[in-house]
Structure 1
């Protein structure tokens, strides 16, 4: 019934081809390739549960997907932002797509906003589409943007002011 013959048996289905552009993705040391491709190809960034980012006038900018599992006191801008159950942001979160499973205290601006059952949001939401799951806690106002430019994330780092070096006297 089963044999160790060639896998080119015409009766067996062929394995799926990798998505375009991922054909040369190296296989990691554990021998298993990610079904989503390498992080450098996918552009995913993670702020882990052990990381806290504090400061005045801080803006975190991600060109692709940003997973926040730690704590941020500053603004977050990205293409797609996911705030995990252990994650929190005190500041403005702006992206094309935002999913909240943790906490946000501040404004949320996105084309698509999803508040999951574990989310706690204190602040206004500006959106095109909004989904609030049963159990989500939300205290604020909701406004559907009339123009996409009102909620479009600014991902161009060069348009942000340059940081000012502290002045030391000595």
Structure 2
């Protein structure tokens, strides 16, 4: 039987728009409304999970999903950068930010590198059982899943845009995945 993994990015939150690292802010009112209106278009699944982030859990609830929280789907750990915006870091620590953006193995914030995130999410992907798994996860998690599943070079992580409330489908397993991406809910 085929493994089907469907990943939904959370609806918009105020901190997502501000490019704030590691924030656990709630969904914006518009994001919540949009998620509720997309509930009827959410695909069915044998297993439903959500990342621990508040925005992911709120998105899952608004979509009408009874989802189990899966800690393996946690967003990228940005360590000391948690709560800060990309603009703040560019102004106060441009060298560390530049290193992080250029080197997937770097974690100048003391948290998780992109390489580590990709390995963690890759391990999650490879343990999916046959059937359909649906998960609400942060954009970085979805990008890491794509880098792993498609054996993309690590720098491709930054070239993958995951818009709010979109569906990414991976089908296959055992090191051979096919992709359907960017479907709006």
Structure-1-length-normalised TM-score: 0.23
Q: If each structure's helix is expressed as a fraction of its own residues, which one has the higher value?
A: 2
Between structures 1 and 2, the one with greater strand share: 1
Report 1 or 2 for greater relative contact order, CA contacts < 8 Å, sequence distance ≥ 6.
2
